[in-house]
Amino acid sequence: MNPVPVGVGVFVCALGGALFGIWVRSRLPQDHIGDATKDTVKLGIGLVATMTALVLGLITASAKNSFDAVDGAIKHTAVQLLTLDRTLARYGPETREIRTAMKQALGRKIDVVWPRESASASGFDPAGTAGSMEALLDSIGTLKPGNDEQRRLQARARDISESLLAERWLAVSDDSSSIPLVFLVILALWLTITFASFGLFAPRNGTVVAIFTLSALSVASAVFMVLEMDRPLEGLIKVPPDALRHAYERMNL
């Protein structure tokens, strides 16, 4: 789900609702915008505003959980890669080519997902990642252990490789949104109603319109940031690659 059009849509709905409320006010009879009406509207909008805050809190929590899950998976993968590298190093010099290839593959994945020169969306291919891990697993299987210690280390390396293959960098390849579309539609509808009620009892002048514009922009920015966080490896808000870079720098030592 692209955060930009959703954020723009929320902004348009909120500001449009406020302007619509101002327009409706100019066409309502005076007895329809009295104090009694205003109090009644405040009660209803108070309920809508509370529900809006609840929905916004739910989608924020959902995006944060998704972000944290990917962050945890990235850190776990880094630990597994370092453990695999050291296990192969203990096996003996026969694994030098495997370790070198593993480090090079990790470097390429880091450059694809976290390019230093650009914050654009990555072109990460989960199938390619799985293929690299399968090739690595095949290479470990072709080793010819000469003693019990090497056989133990080979079995350990294969277990770690199988674990990495099973994950298939799930955190990186999972690009589905954790926020249901219906939540965003309901949120936009309720924001429109809330802002329309604001405009209904607001005076018609430039200051009010400016305040409504800034308020709508603020709400839209919040929705935009939540959706950005729901895409942990794309856009402006990304899971940091520090753990993988740390593993990359210490591999083959």
Confidence of residue 119 (pLDDT cuts 50, 70, 90): very low
**pLDDT value at residue 133:** 67
Average pLDDT of the residues in 20-38: 83
Residue reference for tokens 């690595």: 136
User: What SS3 class is residue 2?
Assistant: coil
Calpha distance 239→176 (Å, rounded)? 16
**pLDDT value at residue 162:** 81
pLDDT tens figures, 89-112? 998 888 888 888 888 888 888 888
Torsion of CA 205, 206, 208, 212, to 10 degrees: 140
Q: Is the pLDDT of residue 33 over 60?
A: yes
Average pLDDT of the residues in 143-151: 89
Average pLDDT of the residues in 79-94: 90
Average pLDDT of the residues in 138-158: 88
Calpha distance 206→131 (Å, rounded)? 60
Structure tokens at 96: 């030098």
Where helices occur in 92-180 by DSSP H, the ranges are: 96-113, 126-141, 148-167, 170-173
**pLDDT value at residue 35:** 80
Average pLDDT of the residues in 149-161: 89
**pLDDT value at residue 121:** 44
**pLDDT value at residue 127:** 46
Q: When comparing pLDDT for 66 and 128, which is higher?
A: 66
Average pLDDT of the residues in 61-73: 87
Average pLDDT score over the chain: 84
**pLDDT value at residue 191:** 94
Dihedral sign computed on CA atoms, order 212, 216, 222, 225: negative
Terminus-to-terminus CA distance in the chain, angstroms? 41
CB 114 within 8 A of CB 248: no
Q: How far is CA 171 from CA 67, 174, 202, 249, in A?
A: 9, 6, 47, 22
**pLDDT value at residue 120:** 46
